[in-house]
Chains A and B, each alone.
Chain A
Amino acid sequence: MIEALFNEPAYLAAKKTLDAVAVRQEAIASNIANLETPGYKRVDLAPSFRAELDHACASGDPQQLAALKPTLATDTTAVANSQDGNTVSLENEMMQLNQNVMTHTLETQMVSSLLFRLKMAITGKSS
């Protein structure tokens, strides 16, 4: 019954995106840590996640949204730019890192604002 408070699709999508951001952060951290590892192939969030999230959002089904699980996958599109077969490019990773931090800020604020609105509605106070 109380779950109805937290079943807004936008809120669930924000939570799932936060999951994805956490996985992505792990991927970027690993890529940067292995900048010098010979033969290392860069990893990223599985590319299918975005489409799955869009699909679940369009359906508006809370269960379908809750069942989504972001995973790590090797980036097959990245090409090695050095002799040792390492496919990590530092500049690219730094850009992705900053992008990820911005997404994280956005999503935490979205989650925060819904919780804040709920609190306001419940207590009738604006702080």
Chain B
Amino acid sequence: MIQPLSGIQNTAAALDAERTRLDVISENIANANTTHGIDGKPYQRKVVVFQSALQQAMGGDNANATPTLRVARIENDKRPPVQVYEPGNPDADARGMVSMPNINIHEEMADLISASRAFEANLAVVKNEKSMAMQTLAIGKH
């Protein structure tokens, strides 16, 4: 397989992983007030667990092998739901308490910014790599 852009696989893998992270964050924000999920329980915050995998550089040059970013798994946050007094809510228990998902919007927003910055940085790498390849192809053409 022709590889005009060397080392782009790592970037692609990272873009993939960051994309998953962005999806999970938006899912968390969207479900910040879901008290009754598919299983009847309040929504549980999800966290992406990253993992590094060693990817062999193309051409079997082991000296230049660099690790890539991968999403290992998506786990539930271990924090318990918050109890909110809301007697009118259909999901309220006998004491009028409702279990709300333990989602802190500010935390999610901070995470969202850092994920999208990482995503943009990887995109910049792809863009620069492409412009460098175009320059290389223009060698000797005037």
Interface residues of A, Cβ cutoff 8 Å to B: 21-23, 25-30, 32-40, 43, 71-72, 90, 93-94, 97-98, 100-101, 104-105, 108, 111-112, 115-116, 119, 127
- Among the stretches B3-11, B30-38, B85-93, the one at the interface with A is B3-11
- Chain A's interface: helix, strand, loop or mixed, by majority? helix
CB distance from A41 to the nearest CB of B (A): 10
Report which of B57, B121, B132, B138 forms a contact with A32, defined as CB distance below 8 A. Answer: B121
A105 to B50, CA, bound (A): 35
- Chain B's interface: helix, strand, loop or mixed, by majority? helix
Number of interface residues of B (CB under 8 A): 35
When distances are taken between beta carbons in the complex, the residues of chain A under 8 Å from B8 are: 29
B118 touches A34 (CB 8 A): no
A90 to B114, CA, bound (A): 11
Given contacts A28-B125, A32-B125, A111-B139, contact A23 B64 (CB under 8 A): yes
B69 touches A36 (CB 8 A): yes
Closest 10 CB pairs of A and B: A33-B14, A26-B7, A30-B66, A33-B10, A37-B52, A29-B7, A115-B140, A108-B135, A29-B125, A32-B121
Interface residues of B, Cβ cutoff 8 Å to A: 6-8, 10-11, 13-14, 17-18, 50, 52, 57, 63-64, 66-69, 117-118, 121-122, 124-125, 128-129, 131-132, 135-136, 138-142
When distances are taken between beta carbons in the complex, the residues of chain A under 8 Å from B18 are: 36
